[in-house]
Amino acid sequence: MSPRVDEEDEVVGEREKMAERARRGAADLGDGLKTTREEVQGIGRRHGERGEDAEGFALKELANEMEERIDYQMRLAA
């Protein structure tokens, strides 16, 4: 093979490695955010149980919005 083909293969290989690192990073971030979302959801549930319906509802809605965004980003990373 010519040196130019070798260089191009090397560049392609590096790009593939970078893309894989980015996918893993996105997956790790998504997992971390899911934990945070679950905590926000739990706080909202506790507010609702104490009769603080407005606060509970707002936190549940926030958790649902987080879930939609996290799921979307996870699909992009896959």
Centre a 10 Å sphere on the Cβ of residue 42 and count the other Cβ atoms it contains.
12
- pLDDT for the residue numbered 43: 93
Parse the chain into domains and list their residue ranges: 3-77
- Provide block-wise average pLDDT over 10 residues at a time, the chain (78 residues): 78 88 84 87 92 92 90 82
- pLDDT for the residue numbered 1: 61
Q: CA-CA distance, 75 to 73, in Å (whole number)? A: 5
Q: Are the C-beta atoms of 44 and 60 separated by less than 8 Å? A: yes
- pLDDT for the residue numbered 77: 77
Give the angle subtended at the CA of 58 by the CAs of 55 and 48, to the nearest 5°: 45
Q: Are the C-beta atoms of 73 and 26 separated by less than 8 Å? A: yes
Question: CA nearest 28: which of 63, 77, 61?
Answer: 77
pTM: 0.64
